[in-house]
């Protein structure tokens, strides 16, 4: 990050560091087991959180974590008007323009990050270095390299973490995971994931535009390359430009690909190839339509998996019969499971009804509440940065392939290298603007 002043070690931070020597108990979920952030504190002592970003999903996350029993004591936003709107609900909360003041705020247990993708990694990484539990909205970061740095930091600090993908806490997803893992449709070697719509057409950027009052645009740019202000790459629409976002694949891949990642214990692909179509030239940079094919290796006694992502109207051949605009289709050697956010159906090859399977994953108490309870107890979260980091990396690798002209990348996950495409390096790890470091 750019320069800041480290705050002195507080009582709470000392307790966090001391707590990292404790041993926590794991459960059978895709998680590393962190220690409690405030394990030595009185159970009656309320946790304290700071927030970076205050609008849209950021506001929902602030509200959700607050309702779970956490004091929101500091928040920062480059947009004074949006922060003023959110802070009306938190009149005692200290507000700042610069996120670094939140990081320096006294005795924070939790950091909540809900900014555009290109400014996720720096506050998340610094929060982890300072011993905080961190909640970050999806996708975890803007580049594959950033995801890996964050994942490794979280593991090093044994931190309580959660990526904001609320559907991960949906009971329907959990039941699908149980069906697949119980072997209801046998060995799964093929998965299709499709999303019916695609990025909005937002219009060409112009050479000159006025920065609205109350906006610190330079701080909004953060580590991204300097670009003159334009509304088409600012609030919300930043996601359609490579400097700031990753299109529909980064936005929704972490939601829909989450289901096969969890059910099949997927992590790092061995090859990725993407193709796409833009709505028209000269508009937003990301593809309106896209298909990405991932090859995942065998995992224990599970076979290799070929997973295909589609968006913008593209979908697998014959998918029209399912009458689903967006869905996940698992194809096993005994049948298929079709699922979306709220429904699922099993189609067995023998024509019989599927037998009920044992519930092995508890129903969720709520995405934000699960995170807060983990901070209090040191228990694991199911969408922690170890799991969600790999998920986000996979989604972002599809964009890397697309941006290298649709080349099939032979992926060396350990070394973060496309072994057959050195030109992909510039998209795997982006160059930061002068004055910013991770």
- 14-72 pLDDT per residue, tens: 444 434 433 333 323 333 334 444 433 455 589 999 999 999 999 999 999 999 999 99
Q: What is the CA radius of gyration of the chain?
A: 22
Q: What is the pLDDT of residue 207?
A: 65
Length of the chain: 438
Q: What is the pLDDT of residue 45?
A: 81
Cβ within 8 Å of residue 86, ≥6 positions away? 54, 55, 58, 59, 62, 75, 77
Determine the Cα–Cα distance for residues 345 and 343; give it in Å rounded to an integer. 7
> Residues 51, 114: contact at Cβ < 8 Å?
yes
The ranges of the chain with pLDDT < 70 are 1-44, 202-204, 206-207, 280-282
pLDDT tens digits for 226-273?
Answer: 999 998 899 999 999 999 999 999 999 999 999 999 999 999 999 999
Q: Is 297 exposed, middle or buried (0-12, 13-18, 19+ CB in 10 A)?
A: middle
Q: Which two tokens stand for residue 77?
A: 């936003």
Place of tokens 């913008």: 312
- Domains, the chain: 11-169+366-384 (3.40.50.720), 171-204+213-359+392-428 (3.30.360.10)
Q: Is the pTM of this model over 0.85?
A: yes
Backbone phi, psi, residue 58, to 5°? -60, -45
Determine the Cα–Cα distance for residues 221 and 127; give it in Å rounded to an integer. 20
Cβ within 8 Å of residue 87, ≥6 positions away? 54, 75, 93, 95
Q: What is the pLDDT of residue 23?
A: 31
Determine the Cα–Cα distance for residues 372 and 359; give it in Å rounded to an integer. 24
Q: How far is CA 295 from CA 266, 304, 386, 394, 408, in A?
A: 10, 7, 20, 11, 11
Q: How far apart are the first and last CA of the chain?
A: 5
Q: What is the pLDDT of residue 86?
A: 98
Paired sense of beta strands 188-195 and 344-348, if any: unpaired
């Amino acid at each position: 990050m750019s320069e800041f002043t480290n705050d002195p070690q507080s009582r709470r931070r000392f307790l966090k560091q001391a707590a990292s020597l404790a041993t926590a108990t794991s459960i059978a979920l895709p998680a590393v087991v962190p220690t409690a952030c405030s394990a030595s504190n009185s159970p009656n002592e309320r946790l304290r959180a700071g927030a970076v970003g205050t609008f849209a999903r950021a506001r929902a996350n602030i509200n959700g974590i607050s309702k779970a029993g956490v004091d929101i004591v500091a928040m920062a936003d480059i947009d004074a008007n949006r922060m003023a709107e959110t802070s009306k609900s938190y009149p005692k909360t200290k507000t700042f323009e610069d996120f670094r003041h939140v990081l320096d705020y006294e005795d924070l247990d939790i950091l909540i990050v809900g900014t555009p993708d290109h400014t996720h990694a720096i506050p998340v990484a610094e929060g982890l270095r300072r011993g905080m539990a961190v909640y970050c909205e999806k996708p975890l970061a803007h580049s594959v390299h950033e995801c890996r740095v964050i994942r490794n930091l979280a593991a090093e600090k044994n931190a309580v973490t959660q990526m904001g993908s609320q559907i991960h806490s949906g009971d329907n997803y959990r039941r699908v995971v149980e069906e697949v893992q119980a072997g209801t449709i046998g060995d799964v070697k093929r998965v299709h994931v499709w999303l019916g719509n695609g990025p909005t057409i937002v219009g060409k950027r112009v050479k000159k535009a006025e920065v609205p009052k109350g906006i610190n645009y330079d701080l909004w740019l953060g580590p991204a390359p300097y670009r003159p202000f334009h509304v088409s790459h600012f609030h919300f629409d930043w996601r359609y430009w490579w400097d700031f976002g990753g299109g529909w694949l980064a936005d929704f891949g972490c939601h829909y690909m989450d289901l096969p990642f969890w059910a099949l214990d997927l992590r790092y692909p061995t090859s990725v190839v993407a193709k796409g179509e833009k709505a028209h030239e000269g508009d937003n940079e990301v593809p309106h339509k896209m298909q990405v094919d991932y090859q995942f290796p065998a995992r224990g006694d599970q076979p290799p998996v070929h997973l295909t992502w589609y968006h913008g109207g593209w979908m697998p051949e014959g998918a029209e019969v399912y009458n689903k605009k967006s869905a996940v289709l698992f194809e096993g050697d005994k049948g298929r499971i079709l699922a979306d956010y709220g429904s699922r159906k099993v189609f067995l090859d023998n024509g019989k009804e599927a037998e009920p399977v044992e519930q092995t994953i508890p129903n969720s108490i709520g995405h934000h509440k699960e995170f807060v309870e983990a901070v209090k107890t040191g228990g694991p979260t199911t969408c922690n940065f170890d799991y969600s980091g790999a998920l986000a990396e996979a989604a972002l690798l599809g964009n890397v392939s697309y941006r290298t002209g649709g080349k099939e990348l032979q992926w060396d996950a350990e070394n973060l290298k496309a072994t057959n495409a050195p030109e992909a390096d510039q998209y795997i790890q982006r160059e930061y603007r002068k004055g910013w470091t991770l």
